Structure 1
Amino acid sequence: MSASDATPEATRPEPAAPEWDAPLAEVPLLWLDLEMTGVDPETDHICEVAALRVQGGEETERLVTLVKPPVPVGASEAIHHISDDALADAPTLETLRAPLERLLEGAIVVGHTIGFDLKFLRAAAARGWLDPPPMHALDTRLLARRAWHRPSYGLRALAEEHALPLPTHRAEPDAIAAGKLLEVVARELHASTARQLWQSQRRGDPIRFRDDVEAILRRARDEGRAVRVAYRVPGRDPFIDTLEPWAIEGPRVEGRLHERDVRKILRGDRLLWAEPTEQRFSVPEGFVSSCP
């Protein structure tokens, strides 16, 4: 089950833990999905948990269980098909505190619209049932919105497009679909660390480059080398072109796009990735940057 999470990534500090800068293949990821009795964490409760700890593409530990909530499932049964009878003998959330904490230790949480799930975990922590969940997580819905222009960013639509295991509004298949989607979108965004993905998904002001993209652009400008870039245009799929980075001012880069043969100012937050080339360039004589 999912709903929009309005908390902007831009308002949060950067992740500080070292696992955010390690190669993705070496970092424990926790593919996480929850099912709930409704959409309000103040009055509704978790009724199913799937937490799969994955490292290097291999599952190392898991917790998949129904959870007995303190309220009836109500109308949500029509979505996840979990009945009150099925939950009658399920463990309560308090009894899952230790195994969840073990799975979360040193791992980066991954999920589709994961902010919604984290709100319910925070509500459970406020009630004293669980330890507080991590502040940062990777949201495959936000990442997909960065990587592609699609009519739907629902988990099922994206899973079908990329031939991934299909979600079913149950915690385990939905967690697996989100984890597999992360692998696809990481390749699409040329991201090798979780921090690069987190910087790709953050929204709002101020406009910022992804750290690795800015470093590549600045080195290319200093060395007079063109770079291949992917640039996201609102309402369309990203385009790929070769850029001569003539000037970098604040969160923008100005230069010439080869295939389009046009001088252009590109916003840092819309540059999805950058790769250096051996192609040399010289800044035109008399060039004055127009970057705001």
Structure 2
Amino acid sequence: MNFIALDFETANSSKDSVCSIGMVEYEKGEVKREYYRLVKPKRNYFAPINVSIHGIRQEDVQDANEFEHLWENEIKHMVEGKLIIAHNAQFDMSVLRAVLTQYDLPYPMLAYNCTLNISKKTWSLPKYNLKAVSDHLGIHLNHHQALDDARAAARIFMHAAKDLNATTAKQLVEKTQTTNGMMYEGGYEPARRNSKKRAKKPSAYDYIAANADRSHPFYGSSFVLTGKLRGLKRDEAITQITSKGGRVQNYVEASTNYLVIGDKTYTDYLNGLLTEKLERAETLLAQGHSIELVPEEAFLTQIKEGS
């Protein structure tokens, strides 16, 4: 059983704002090595909500290397040609793509899979976020510490292999009917879990207020809201969007520009628990569509500042 478990923590809602990375490499079913680094984001801004989740602050990374240095000197040779696993791999691999793009670095050649998907195919649980699956399996977890999260994902992968009598990573992928994602220079393919998809006809608030501010960034953009907003009522949020020339859709589709995420739902998202709208957004992002995931805090700031 050969693979590398990976976890990123980010400084803010931007996927390229890596502030820590943890990896655990398994070889023949045993831990070969562990890797943990704090990372100084290129745009060194730490959002309060992210700090409250992982506890890493700007001063903690003051003397840390930026990702480009770590990638070229330490990480790249570890992951190239390997199978990478992560819990909610769509998030972690989108972080990797974003930070590589930020530094104009080519994608490595690697395969990856998702222990969130594998968990759903292996156990019947009320929730499948990292904490819930770890609790079910008796895995000690210091959540949102990147190395500990990587350790937990690795142990989930090994537990699933044991329960399904899979002796290799390839067998586990086959038994769980999942499909490895791929990264390669110039592109990528998302990891998949075979499941039935429900089709919904999207509808929207298609009007634009007559006095809408045509200079506002919201003008002409389509929005979807997910999760309960704490800063204002949903109807108020819709009014704010439409008064600035935006449209509000009920469901995420290819034409969606922004998915606004309530505070608690955003925290759950970072924990690997996705709403149906977030799952749809991640799927469309993996297909190359441009949808920005906007935490409530950032949304409220944009409303007030108009930027």
TM-score of the aligned structures, taking structure 1 as reference length? 0.56
Match of 1:99 among 65, 74, 77: 74
Which residue identity does 2:83 align to in structure 1? I
Taking the aligned partners of 2:106 and 2:162, their CA distance within structure 1 comes to 33
Q: State the shift of 1:205 in Å.
A: 7.5
Taking the aligned partners of 2:81 and 2:171, their CA distance within structure 1 comes to 18
Aligned 8 A contact 1:61 1:103 in 2: no
Q: State the shift of 1:52 in Å.
A: 2.0
Aligned 8 A contact 2:81 2:110 in 1: no
Q: State the shift of 1:160 in Å.
A: 1.4
**What residue is the counterpart of 1:189 in the other structure?**
164
Match of 1:128 among 103, 107, 111: 103
Change (3 A) 1:134 1:167: farther
Q: Flag structure 1 segments of 5+ consecutive residues without an equivalent.
A: 1-23, 208-292
SS at match of 1:52: strand
SS at match of 1:159: helix
Q: State the shift of 1:156 in Å.
A: 1.1
Q: State the shift of 1:119 in Å.
A: 0.6
Aligned 8 A contact 1:63 1:100 in 2: no
Taking the aligned partners of 2:32 and 2:13, their CA distance within structure 1 comes to 31
Which residue identity does 1:35 align to in structure 2? E
Task: Write out aligned runs for 1:159-198 (5 A).
Answer: 159-198=134-173
Does 1:56 pair with 2:56?
no
Change (3 A) 1:170 1:46: same
Q: State the shift of 1:106 in Å.
A: 3.4
Does 1:36 pair with 2:18?
no
Change (3 A) 1:133 1:116: farther
Taking the aligned partners of 2:36 and 2:104, their CA distance within structure 1 comes to 18
**What residue is the counterpart of 1:66 in the other structure?**
38
Taking the aligned partners of 2:162 and 2:55, their CA distance within structure 1 comes to 34
SS at match of 2:8: strand
SS at match of 2:6: strand
How many residue pairs get aligned? The number is: 179
**What residue is the counterpart of 2:238 in the other structure?**
none
- Summarize deviations over 1:220-246 as a string: whole Å, max 9, x none: xxxxxxxxxxxxxxxxxxxxxxxxxxx
Change (3 A) 1:83 1:178: same
Taking the aligned partners of 1:129 and 1:170, their CA distance within structure 2 comes to 27
Aligned 8 A contact 1:77 1:83 in 2: yes
SS at match of 1:38: coil
SS at match of 2:111: coil
Q: Flag structure 2 segments of 5+ consecutive residues without an equivalent.
A: 179-191, 198-307
**What residue is the counterpart of 1:79 in the other structure?**
53
Which residue identity does 2:138 align to in structure 1? A
- Summarize deviations over 1:99-152 as a string: whole Å, max 9, x none: 111211332111111121111111122223544145631211100001122111
Match of 1:203 among 180, 188, 193: 193
Taking the aligned partners of 1:38 and 1:120, their CA distance within structure 2 comes to 12
Q: State the shift of 1:61 in Å.
A: 3.1
Which residue identity does 1:92 align to in structure 2? E
Match of 2:63 among 85, 89, 112: 89
Taking the aligned partners of 2:60 and 2:68, their CA distance within structure 1 comes to 18
**What residue is the counterpart of 1:112 in the other structure?**
87
Displaced runs of 4 or more, over 6 A: none
- Summarize deviations over 1:32-79 as a string: whole Å, max 9, x none: 1010123442xx511001122221233333331100012311121000
Taking the aligned partners of 1:99 and 1:65, their CA distance within structure 2 comes to 10
Equivalent pairs: percent with the same residue?
28
Which residue identity does 1:162 align to in structure 2? L
